[in-house]
Amino acid sequence: MSIVPEERLVWNYNIEAGLGSKLPRKVLFWDETMRDGEQTPGVTFSPEEKLKIATVLSEMGVDIMDVGIPVVSREEARGVKLVANAGLDASILAACRAVRKDVEACIECDADEVSIFIACSDLHLKYKLKMTREQVLEAAVRECEYAKAHGVGVTFVTEDTFRADFEYVVKLYNAAIDAGATRVVLSDTIGYTTPTMMQWFIGRVRERFKPAQLSVHCHNDFGLAVANTLAALEAGVEVPHTCVNGLGERSGNASFEELVMALEVLYGYETGIEVSRIAEVSRLVEQLSGIPIAVNKAVVGYNSFSHESGIHADGVIKMTSTYEPMQPERIGRERRFIFGKHTGSTAVEDRLKKHGIPATPEQVKEVVGMIKDLAESRSKEEQAAFIHVYREREEKRRGVSDAEFWGIAKKAGLTPPPEFR
């Protein structure tokens, strides 16, 4: 493999264009894995599991962690309190609606900060909250003032910010800032924003908001969560929300590992995150969440540094940067060469050489031919069976089954429908 420093051979137009210079001096990472990530259908973390995740993320350099909504349950409150009192370097935050009992629950859990959220768009106000704009504003101000008076840091968040009336957004956020919020979060609750729209919106709010730290919370319904978050950072936002492995409701949130490595590699920006542990925390969350990492998931997927194509394998063996945008070792991964239909002679020669086995060109060619024959002759029955088992397992994992639901209803004195009696 070539010993020429690879960075000399890779022209990064992003850096030449000065994208890194458009970013805030310091990006503060806000982790949502233990709050919004846990709202992934079927996912639950015990208090002890939350502490495991929080400890690794704090050690890696994550600045802020939302570890739960204490009012949800006693175990949720215990988890928040456990993490809050663990002595971690990260600021521990608990989330709550703009409701007094919710705010009190956060304060009782010893959280460093509270994140007070309420819906913002007329759509949510009319059909979900059934509140007027003025009622929402009053609730937001009341609870921000209450939290501030009790000595905790106050962040104000709205749901569906980017589909709300802009003048109302400005009025609501400025009222919350006056009431004690020092950080404000703009939420793309259903992933409806685009990078261009994100930059336009952030530019406008920066002109109109009173002084406060800006943060964004992006969902991935259209696969744009990380792109939208990067656009927000370029526009001056300091605090991006992320989830490890891109967990979260529906299609998930902005992926922690993708955002970090995009900043490090594409922007040449030093995030302060210990990237060598990215694979470690990804596997930990995979195990504790029960959500398998997609094989083609960016950065941490099992195929991210796997090569089968003969052309690609040949290039990587000669110089890794030909087909790898980052070194796998940098994030605690290893590259793999997959032998199958598209395998070429270079990968076969490389494996034989690494094991000290000499082979003639004719022998290598024969091995390549037999690998291709074997790969193409395999039945797809086993593959289809795996997909079926996986789907079946997902149905069972995703919360309480129909039979279990009606069993619980029966215990509560209700009569189940005939098919579940």
Q: What is the pLDDT of residues 91-114, one digit of tens each?
A: 999 999 999 999 999 999 999 999
296 domain-assigned: no
Q: What's the total number of domains in the chain?
A: 3
CA end-to-end distance (rounded Å), the chain: 67
> For the residues 179-193, what does the mean pLDDT come to?
98
| Residue 114: per-residue pLDDT | 98
Task: Give the pLDDT score at 6.
Answer: 57
Instruction: Note the residue count of the chain.
Output: 421
pLDDT at 4 over 60: no
Q: What is the pLDDT of the chain when averaged over all its residues?
A: 93
Do both 363 and 409 map to the same domain? no
Q: Per the domain annotation, does 406 fall within a domain?
A: yes
Model pLDDT, residue 144: 98
Q: Are residues 94 and 144 in the same domain?
A: yes
Whole-number pLDDT of residue 130? 97
* Model confidence pLDDT, tens digit, residues 297-336: 999 999 999 887 777 877 888 888 888 999 999 999 999 8
The mean pLDDT of 3-30, rounded to a whole number, is 82
- Domain annotation covers residue 18: no
Please give the residue range of the domain that contains residue 408: 381-420
pLDDT at 3: 40
**Chain-centroid distance, C-alpha 146:** 31
Same domain for 52 and 71, yes or no, is yes
For residues 310 and 385, state if they share a domain: no
Q: Is residue 151 domain-resident? A: yes
- Indicate if 95 and 170 belong to the same structural domain: yes
pTM of the predicted structure, to 2 decimals = 0.91
Cα separation, 255 vs 410, in Å, equals: 41
Q: Are 260 and 164 contained in the same domain?
A: yes
317 CB-near residues (< 8 Å, 6+ apart): 1, 346, 347, 350
pLDDT digits (tens, 9 = 90+) for 210-227: 999 999 999 999 999 999
Query: Looking at the domain assignment, is residue 11 inside a domain?
Result: no
